[in-house]
Structure 1
Amino acid sequence: MKSLPLLLLVVTSCVGQKGPGIDSVLYPYGPSVQDKITRKLDDGTSGEIPISVTFTFFGKKHKSLFVNNNGVISFGVPVSKYTPDAFPLSDGSPFVAPYWGDVNNQIAGSVYYRQSTEPTLLQRITQDIKKYFPNLHYKATWSFVATWDKVAYFGSRSKKTNTFQAVLTTDEKRAFIILNYGNIEWTTGTASGGDPRTGLGGIPAQAGFNSGDKTHYFNIPGSRTPDIVKIRQTSNVNTPGRWVFQVDQFSAPGGCVYEANFVRYNDTFWKDSTCENKCLCKTNGEVECTEEWCPGALVCQPTTWHFSCQISMGSCF
């Protein structure tokens, strides 16, 4: 059971139309664009939201969704769990996790959402998708925008907050998700082992997708590690703070997906702790592995989810 924090720090914020600056990758959100808002409730949810189109997620069609305060958009069931599990999830829950962690918007921040066919928004989304998928000739006809604006973490004794956004869009044939990141300052609530004064440590936030079939899932680099606090500096489309995916049939521009992890085009890695098989992400999106050992004095070392050949700490040159 989660205990209440000893000290609540209230952080006020202004929201609405976002211009150039710190949160420039975000699409407009807040009261000025008629967003709805979830209840100020630890581990809360929007309740089930009927949507006006069919959204296809990993081959399955959905007509409703939930916006959950803990950084998740889910299909079928709400998500109140505050400590992120590794993907794939054993319970088969299908959801999008822009930043799954222990949000407490009773302390600070708001969770906004709306579904929209507003022409200016759809035009902007269409232009962005065309930039990232130039051969698809996509024209958005519907969108859903959920934004976690300056939200605090459970047990916070600091003024640290996070701002991030998930955008779902479809033309009722193809479906895409855009994940946008503003300022990210914390990774973990205290009930997940985090430090109340830093919001770091413990089991950090997860970002990515879980299809619900225990087979198809994706982890944004850094998920459930301390590096997730740097997610705003990362991207698969050369726009820091933005990740974009086709999700009716999964595709990630800018690289390859290997065992649910992202590898940039032309990057190499070793598959396992033997460092006997070196793999290359080819520009056609395929991963090619060939037998190749670490050269010379280099030794096999773990690097997040894969392995690399590095200089031994005990070596002298």
Structure 2
Amino acid sequence: MRSLPLLIFAVTLWLGGISADGESTLYPYGPSVGDKITPVADDGATSAIPISVPFTFFGRTHKSLYVNNNGVVSFGVSVSKYTPDAFPLADGSPFVAPFWADVDNRLGGKVYYRETTDPPTLQRITHDINKYFPNLHYKAKWVFVATWDKVAYFSSLSKKTNTFQAVLSTDGKRSFIILNYGDVTWTTGAASGGNRVTGLGGTPAQAGFNSGDKTHYFNIPGSRTDEIINIGHTSNVNVPGRWVFQVDAFKAPGGCVFEANFARYNDTFWKDETCETKCVCNTDGEVACTEESCPASLVCQPSAWRFTCQISLGSCF
């Protein structure tokens, strides 16, 4: 067991940022809506939680799940690992990771969870999913909400905390995950190489999901880099601090997924460092690629996860 610095501070309930329609980006959580709380423990987790409606996650049907303090909802086994790995995982563990990092709720914060078929919650989830997937005519039958509320990081010497949420929903056939973010102010615990005062550096948090089949997985942009601190300002549904995916079959609203990276509709890019295959994200959510090289006046250069044809930095104007 890693040692615990003597730093404890008060925690208050926080309901997240406000979206463009005036609602909190995070769905309601806490004791007032009947949430339970995970154990207060370093790298702790719940025992297996039976769920009343099976949840299909890329072809596998699950009847129970775990809520892990380190920012993960997992299937099959709990997750005590505190330094995140990039997806896909070598061990094939299937889980949803709103913010996989070294959370320590002994130093601050609570991890809430509940299964619900409460009509107002089902109605709100139904409304949101149909807004992002307008042709599916989805009607939520079941919802599971896990919320990490103002949680601290391991060996913290600051009062920095993070608030984020994972929401799972199904109609009995189709399955969705919604990842919501409130204030995110740290990325790394000290045991992962982070600075005890700033909560930054080292190996930062991983966000997204891993199906377990090494084919269907997604790394939210910035994962395991310093840029993950800005996750509350990113989105694939034009709601800052929200990412949404259909996970019975892999669909991401607002764009396409190419080799576990997200491209918006009509984005163009080159497949690799040769810049000999040009790709475009079509509005049907599929990426189409054709043989096409950079124009002679441009050079192939990396840009985030993709490659683009750009004017050489050494060119004269």
Q: Does structure 1 residue 218 correspond to structure 2 residue 203?
A: no
Q: Which residue identity does 2:162 align to in structure 1? A: N
CA distance in 2, matches of 1:238, 1:18: 16
Deviation at 1:217, TM superposition (A): 1.1
Query: Deviations for 1:119-167, whole angstroms, at most 9, x for unmatched residues?
Result: 1111111100111111111111110000000111112111111110011
The verdict on how the C-alpha distance between 1:204 and 1:109 changes in structure 2, with shifts beyond 3 A counting, is same
Q: Say how many residue pairs are matched.
A: 315
Deviation at 1:311, TM superposition (A): 4.0
Match in the other structure for 2:250: 250
8 Å Cα contact 1:9/1:156 also seen in 2: no
Alignment of 1:222-233 (within 5 A): 222-233=222-233
The verdict on how the C-alpha distance between 1:173 and 1:299 changes in structure 2, with shifts beyond 3 A counting, is same
Deviation at 1:88, TM superposition (A): 0.9
Deviation at 1:297, TM superposition (A): 5.0
Alignment of 1:16-31 (within 5 A): 20=18, 24-31=24-31
The verdict on how the C-alpha distance between 1:157 and 1:119 changes in structure 2, with shifts beyond 3 A counting, is same
Deviation at 1:34, TM superposition (A): 1.1
Alignment of 1:65-80 (within 5 A): 65-80=65-80
The verdict on how the C-alpha distance between 1:311 and 1:194 changes in structure 2, with shifts beyond 3 A counting, is farther
Match in the other structure for 2:305: 305
CA distance in 2, matches of 1:308, 1:3: 45
Deviation at 1:193, TM superposition (A): 1.1
Q: Does structure 1 residue 241 correspond to structure 2 residue 241?
A: yes
CA distance in 2, matches of 1:309, 1:173: 43
Match in the other structure for 1:12: 11
Is there any run of 5+ residues in structure 2 with no aligned partner, and where? none
Q: Which residue identity does 1:135 align to in structure 2? A: N
Q: Which residue identity does 1:193 align to in structure 2? A: G
Deviation at 1:20, TM superposition (A): 4.5
Deviation at 1:229, TM superposition (A): 1.1
Query: Deviations for 1:68-87, whole angstroms, at most 9, x for unmatched residues?
Result: 00000000000000111111
Deviation at 1:5, TM superposition (A): 5.1
8 Å Cα contact 1:7/1:156 also seen in 2: no
Q: Does structure 1 residue 206 correspond to structure 2 residue 193?
A: no
Deviation at 1:296, TM superposition (A): 5.4
Alignment of 1:1-317 (within 5 A): 3-4=2-3, 6-15=5-14, 20=18, 24-295=24-295, 297-317=297-317
CA distance in 2, matches of 1:310, 1:110: 47
8 Å Cα contact 2:16/2:183 also seen in 1: no
CA distance in 1, matches of 2:269, 2:108: 41
Query: Deviations for 1:83-117, whole angstroms, at most 9, x for unmatched residues?
Result: 11111111111100111111111111110000001
8 Å Cα contact 2:13/2:149 also seen in 1: no
Query: Deviations for 1:205-235, whole angstroms, at most 9, x for unmatched residues?
Result: 1111111122221111111111111111111
CA distance in 2, matches of 1:215, 1:288: 18
* Residue aligned with 1:114, SS: strand
Q: Which residue identity does 2:3 align to in structure 1? A: L
* Residue aligned with 1:41, SS: coil
Q: Which residue identity does 1:12 align to in structure 2? A: V
Is there any run of 5+ residues in structure 1 with no aligned partner, and where? none
CA distance in 2, matches of 1:312, 1:9: 53
Moved more, 264-273 or 75-84: 264-273
Q: Which residue identity does 1:213 align to in structure 2? A: D
Deviation at 1:254, TM superposition (A): 0.7
Query: Deviations for 1:271-291, whole angstroms, at most 9, x for unmatched residues?
Result: 111222221111111112223
Moved more, 145-154 or 196-205: 196-205
Moved more, 268-277 or 168-177: 268-277
**How well do the aligned residues superpose, as a CA RMSD in angstroms?**
1.9
* Residue aligned with 2:231, SS: helix
* Residue aligned with 1:125, SS: helix
Moved more, 69-78 or 233-242: 233-242
CA distance in 2, matches of 1:255, 1:195: 36
Q: Which residue identity does 2:123 align to in structure 1? A: Q
Identity across aligned pairs (percent)? 72
The verdict on how the C-alpha distance between 1:9 and 1:270 changes in structure 2, with shifts beyond 3 A counting, is farther
The verdict on how the C-alpha distance between 1:224 and 1:18 changes in structure 2, with shifts beyond 3 A counting, is closer
The verdict on how the C-alpha distance between 1:144 and 1:281 changes in structure 2, with shifts beyond 3 A counting, is same
8 Å Cα contact 2:298/2:311 also seen in 1: yes
CA distance in 1, matches of 2:314, 2:34: 60
Moved more, 164-173 or 282-291: 282-291
